[in-house]
Amino acid sequence: MRIFLFVVFLTPFFIALYSLFITQNVIDPIKYIYTFSGVVATVILFFTIIISLMKRFINLMKYRRMIGLFGFFYACLHIINFVVLDAQFDVDFIINNLIKKPFIYLGAMAFFILVFLALTSTKRLFRKYNKYHKTLYLSLVLITIHFILAQKSLDIYQIFYIFIIGVISIFKLIQIKNLFNRN
């Protein structure tokens, strides 16, 4: 199962490498990398929160950390694209964007939460910090706002993503409400 998940979650990465370096059919590589890494990271991170909802059908609970780290990996590619390819290490450009563009600082806040979650996801640190891992939900809210604000206009795919995010959120709220009622 672990190997299967590795293959599944690395496939988008290899597809992107293939388009960028082999077929070279990408017109705007920076935009392409933003979209591919941002969307894949978002999908994987949302997937991690529905693993507990799906466990009656397929139990991936013990792979949750690994899947979350894949989401983090794609988020890192997104940030590397920003710092290396878009900003070309220009500190003024980075700071100006972080200060002036709300969607960028919301994305940065979401990313800092992901860094904290990744660093504290080892067995030993998770025991100590697991209650703070609920901040993933805050990060997902920030990512959703970042994703919507990044669009100049919403196309049918983006409306579909937002619809799916809405459905997942409703199921999650029902699950959380049930947990509270049980206690």
43 binds ligand HEM, rule: CB under 6 A: no
Is the Cβ–Cβ distance between 151 and 133 less than 8 Å? no
Shortest distance (Å) from residue 167 CB to ligand HEM: 17
Instruction: Give the span between the Cα atoms of 127 and 141, in whole angstroms.
Output: 25
Concatenate the DSSP letters of all residues of 1-45 into one string: -HHHHHHHHHHHHHHHHIIIIII---S-HHHHHHHHHHHHHHHHH
107 binds ligand HEM, rule: CB under 6 A: yes
What is the CB-side half-sphere exposure of residue 27 using CA atoms within 13 A? 0
Shortest distance (Å) from residue 81 CB to ligand HEM: 8
146 binds ligand HEM, rule: CB under 6 A: yes
- Please list, in sequence order, all residues whose beta carbon lies within 8 angstroms of the beta carbon of residue 86, skipping any fewer than 6 positions away: 30, 34, 93
104 binds ligand HEM, rule: CB under 6 A: yes
List binders of ligand HEM among 55-94 (CB under 6 A): 75, 78-79, 82
| Among candidate residues 98, 175, 180, 178, the one with its CA nearest the CA of residue 137 | 175
46 binds ligand HEM, rule: CB under 6 A: no
108 binds ligand HEM, rule: CB under 6 A: yes
Residue from the set 20, 51, 69, 150 that interacts with ligand HEM by CB under 6 A: 150
Encoded amino acid at 1, one letter: M
Contact residues: ligand HEM, CB under 6 A: 31, 34-35, 38-39, 41-42, 45, 75, 78-79, 82, 104, 107-108, 110-111, 114, 143, 146-147, 150
